Structure 1
Amino acid sequence: MPPQYPPDGWSGQPGTAQTRQRLHPLSPVLHSARSLVVVIAGLSWSTLSRVGFGWFAAMVTVIVLGAAVLAVVSWYNTGYQVVGRELRIHEGLLWRRTRAIPLERLQAVEVVRPLLAQLTGLAELRLEVVGGGKTEAPLAFLSVTEASALRQRLLSLAGRPPAGAPAAGVTGAAPPYAPTATPNAEPSTGRPLHSVRNQDLLVSQLLTPQAFLLPFGVVFVAAQFLSEGTWSFIAVASTLTAMAGIVLQPVRRVLDDWQFQLARDDDRLRIRNGLLETRVQTVPLHRVQTIGVTWPLLWRFKGWLRLRLEVAGYTAGEPDQRSRPDRLLPVGDLPTAEAIVAEVLPGVDLSSLPLTPPPERARWLNPLSRRVLGAGLTEQVFAVRSGLLTRQVTVVPYARLQSVRVVQGPLQRRLRLATVHADTAGGAGAAAVDRDLAEAWALAAELSARGHAARRQE
């Protein structure tokens, strides 16, 4: 258990003594190591040739010592404590700063283990809250056991209290935090739902446009090289950079989704994935805003699809898009997808969604994809279908609707068509494209009524 130190006079309840927890003692080492790699990478060989090996070594030593001192000082003045239903993060030396995060606004919690953290048995805890523009309060680093236990405690405090019962921790100080598992224990996985085979993951990324067209690019480059006879350094470097950029996306997906495991722990989803950087993400089911089903063109020959979800609190401007828990099934078949969707949205059957196409006159706006477009209502969700080459279906629970809009463009007005947008807190929502104008207004009214009714029942 990390060392404790007394509070600075700000306690959660009058007359109670709260204790702040420090991060793991190895945290300064990992922070300084990451900063050191970036700084040393910025020192080129030209610097070594100009100043000589002695001065170059002295510069590196000064940088290493400076990074180490700053990391230790930052660690010494950083702490966290759970006060009632708040998580407070204390940091800063000259300018002290305390961030208070209400746990009622907590959307998701994830345990991330970069490569250095895996080697040292540590983990990083990240939080997502309502209205947050980025990941809040990254606690780096904690032991795996401490991070897992703290995550469980935060999610328990963030849960909805029973009707008529006081929220946990509101009437008094939170109990002392004391994990009891072994130091290097992995977090519990709950009830397993599905595990993606790494072989299927590799094959799915080979069936992408980037991987499919890569051999043609290699042949083109080889033909150019043989016809020209010689290439300049700039031409070679530019070609290699372009090819690396093409290959990077499928390779990153394989690394991110390696050993993908999905489990359910009471009313939460537990997602574990990653090779070089493992992630254990916990998403409360009532925070799920939409579920998207995608059938890429090259995957249809094997009957594969992928599932993605939107979670409230994650924004499109998140610097690290991989931290967003949007993967529900990286690759799988329809029966697997139906079983997973039924776990997240009980009563929803992907194979029997009542999707009707827009009217015949919508062919003037969508001559090729009119028959693919569709929209419909079930007892639980609003569903839409789109995409000609890459088929997509999006389902939105009525309780997650934030607003409903009816939009008409100039050509839609002439054809008496309109698009109905169902907006959610997660971002994209769903849109029923080019519906008959009267149908669009009736659909918008029905969505609003069902959304109000669903929210009252929660």
Structure 2
Amino acid sequence: MSDEPAPPLAEAPLGPHAPSAPPEGARRQRLHPLTPLLESFRFLTAAVAAAGIQAFTSRNFLFAIYIALAAAVVGGIASLIALQYRGFVVWGRELHIYGGVFTRSHRTVPLDRLQSVDLARPIRARLFGLAQLNIEVAGGDGTDARLAYLKADRALALRSELLAIAGRPAAAQEAAAEAAASEEAAADRDAGLLVPQVTVKRLALASLLEALPVQITALLVFGTAFAVTGSIFGFSTVATTLWVGFFAPALLGYLQSTVAAVNRFLRNGRFRIARDGGNLLVQRGLTDTSHETVPVDRVTGVAFDEPVMWRSRRWRRVEVWTAAVAQQSATAVKSTTALPVGDPDQVAVVAAAAVPDLPSVFDVERPPARVRWRMPLRWKRTGAALTERAFVVRHGVWVNTHVAVPYARIQSVRVTQGRVQRMQGVATVRAMTAGGLGHDAVAAHRDAAEAVAMAAELRDRADAAAARERPRLS
């Protein structure tokens, strides 16, 4: 035992400082007065639609007018009350957000851990010149804070202020430049894009081709079932039964599929991606526009999607995962689209920009042939490989997906083996990234000896890559 005295305690605890509330005299900044009404836009639309249907069916238009006036008065009073308790304060290196009427809330966002501040402009907000800020911090659960709604110029100024406090001058300059430039002048900035802007024709065709296989398959299944059962039990009886039990829900599913394809097209319209220093800057949207910032040093994985109807055209979609996005729940948005559709050259450029020296084409090795019966449709399109830069896995049937996880972003590696796998002598290797919920790279049904060797090699490469990186992503 050493006789040396213990070192003195630090004057303050080490690690992140505890959040402190602003003083009582701190001026709370308010959101725009239209915020509560815009946030209840869907409810108001439903109320107006219900009133319209009532007026049409009963021919009582006066009643519909009364309902609309009552909804307007109640909504206006509720908005005034809600605005008195909603606002935010930038105090020191923290952002404090207040809200709630019956249940008060006070959220503190540490700007030292700020990852990105994204600007979004839904169409209902654009009509009034408003915007919202989506704020993400490292280690957070998805979008940690949302400021909606603010005047567009005020939102851009606040975004620049928050990024400057967080020590991100390059991004702050980008935000200031964006405030000075109008959307009509966006074509003059095409020279700084990583790839040319995705054309409307290509995006529309890609959205249609991606949704087509599922819809055609459903039509064939229902059509065959109707023809067979109708010939046996009579078409009139089967038609009535199928309409109530199958066709009506199927029609609803078709409408949802169509709406999803249209939303995908509208969300990625006018897609642009550029790189500014250590950030990927993504702008997109036809009706709802968004300006997203993806820090390259926080990218934990890159996914390359190839829907079945895109393969003849060699199109692929590129999505990136970041440390904050990777911790969202399974029902939340899981990634950021870095390229909605592109040819091989464009995919290669975006992949290298997201993760330096990352290729876009991979040679993966399939699982052993003895496990083919477990995945008869997926076996040929399942595989894994340890490349020079990343751990790559492949999976999917309708959508062929390659997932590349840089070694420096792997936090843990696990080998699992179920009872049937143990009988077959195979195991599954799972590489988990920061936060990693739903974003693990999984090499399924590898030979048991190969799985153990692969896991050991992954740990060695992850430790070596993390040792070369400063600071390490947590």
> TM-score interval w.r.t. the shorter chain?
0.7 to 0.9
> What is the rounded CA distance, in whole Å, between the counterparts of 2:28 and 2:132 in structure 1?
18
1:413 matched to 2:414? The reply is no
> What is the rounded CA distance, in whole Å, between the counterparts of 2:303 and 2:380 in structure 1?
19
Q: How does 1:93-104 map to 2 (within 5 A)?
A: 93=101, 96-104=104-112
Residues 274 and 180 of structure 1: CA distance in aligned 2, closer, same or farther (over 3 Å): closer
For structure 2, which runs of at least 5 residues remain unmatched after alignment?
1-19, 170-174
Q: Is 1:374–1:386's contact at 8 Å kept on the other side of the alignment?
A: yes
- 1:205 alignment partner AA: S
What is the CA-CA distance between 1:407 and the residue it aligns to?
A: 0.9
What is the CA-CA distance between 1:220 and the residue it aligns to?
A: 5.5
What is the CA-CA distance between 1:259 and the residue it aligns to?
A: 1.3
What is the CA-CA distance between 1:79 and the residue it aligns to?
A: 1.8
Residue in structure 2 matching 1:245, options 253, 256, 262: 256
Q: Is 2:115–2:137's contact at 8 Å kept on the other side of the alignment?
A: yes
Residue in structure 1 matching 2:461, options 443, 450, 458: 450
Residues 239 and 292 of structure 1: CA distance in aligned 2, closer, same or farther (over 3 Å): closer
- Segment drifting more, 447-456 vs 36-45: 36-45
Residue in structure 2 matching 1:37, options 41, 45, 49: 45
User: Is the partner of 1:21 in helix, strand or coil?
Assistant: coil
2:390 aligned partner:
381
- 2:266 alignment partner AA: L
What is the CA-CA distance between 1:325 and the residue it aligns to?
A: 4.5
> What is the rounded CA distance, in whole Å, between the counterparts of 1:299 and 1:435 in structure 2?
29
1:391 matched to 2:400? The reply is yes
What is the CA-CA distance between 1:58 and the residue it aligns to?
A: 3.1
Q: How does 1:61-210 map to 2 (within 5 A)?
A: 61-93=69-101, 96-130=104-138, 132-133=140-141, 135-158=143-166, 185-186=182-183, 191-194=192-195, 195-210=197-212
User: Is the partner of 1:346 in helix, strand or coil?
Assistant: coil
Q: Is 1:143–1:184's contact at 8 Å kept on the other side of the alignment?
A: no
Q: Is 2:33–2:79's contact at 8 Å kept on the other side of the alignment?
A: no
> What is the rounded CA distance, in whole Å, between the counterparts of 1:180 and 1:333 in structure 2?
30
1:346 aligned partner:
356
User: Is the partner of 2:29 in helix, strand or coil?
Assistant: strand
> What is the rounded CA distance, in whole Å, between the counterparts of 1:378 and 1:421 in structure 2?
16
1:356 aligned partner:
365
Residues 151 and 349 of structure 1: CA distance in aligned 2, closer, same or farther (over 3 Å): same
What is the CA-CA distance between 1:335 and the residue it aligns to?
A: 1.4
> What is the rounded CA distance, in whole Å, between the counterparts of 1:208 and 1:181 in structure 2?
33
> What is the rounded CA distance, in whole Å, between the counterparts of 2:411 and 2:447 in structure 1?
23
> What is the rounded CA distance, in whole Å, between the counterparts of 2:455 and 2:157 in structure 1?
44
Name whichever structure is richer in helix by fraction: 2
Aligned length: 426
- 2:311 alignment partner AA: R
Residues 148 and 450 of structure 1: CA distance in aligned 2, closer, same or farther (over 3 Å): farther
Residue in structure 1 matching 2:317, options 306, 309, 317: 306
Q: How does 1:228-307 map to 2 (within 5 A)?
A: 240-307=251-318
Q: Is 1:342–1:349's contact at 8 Å kept on the other side of the alignment?
A: yes
What is the CA-CA distance between 1:287 and the residue it aligns to?
A: 2.3
1:173 aligned partner:
none
What is the CA-CA distance between 1:355 and the residue it aligns to?
A: 2.9
User: Is the partner of 1:251 in helix, strand or coil?
Assistant: helix
User: Is the partner of 2:263 in helix, strand or coil?
Assistant: helix
User: Is the partner of 1:350 in helix, strand or coil?
Assistant: coil
> What is the rounded CA distance, in whole Å, between the counterparts of 2:446 and 2:110 in structure 1?
42
Q: Is 2:305–2:401's contact at 8 Å kept on the other side of the alignment?
A: yes
1:429 aligned partner:
440
Per-residue CA distance 1:219-264 (angstroms, 9 max, x = gap): 969x999x869x98x7696675344234222222111111111111
Residues 390 and 137 of structure 1: CA distance in aligned 2, closer, same or farther (over 3 Å): closer
> What is the rounded CA distance, in whole Å, between the counterparts of 1:110 and 1:51 in structure 2?
47
> What is the rounded CA distance, in whole Å, between the counterparts of 1:63 and 1:316 in structure 2?
35
Per-residue CA distance 1:378-397 (angstroms, 9 max, x = gap): 33211122335532211001
- 2:210 alignment partner AA: T
RMSD, matched Cα: 3.9
For structure 1, which runs of at least 5 residues remain unmatched after alignment?
1-8, 162-177
> What is the rounded CA distance, in whole Å, between the counterparts of 1:205 and 1:10 in structure 2?
48
> What is the rounded CA distance, in whole Å, between the counterparts of 1:141 and 1:403 in structure 2?
40
Q: Is 1:420–1:431's contact at 8 Å kept on the other side of the alignment?
A: yes
User: Is the partner of 1:120 in helix, strand or coil?
Assistant: coil
1:172 aligned partner:
none
> What is the rounded CA distance, in whole Å, between the counterparts of 1:32 and 1:358 in structure 2?
51
- 2:392 alignment partner AA: A
1:4 aligned partner:
none
Q: Is 2:381–2:395's contact at 8 Å kept on the other side of the alignment?
A: yes
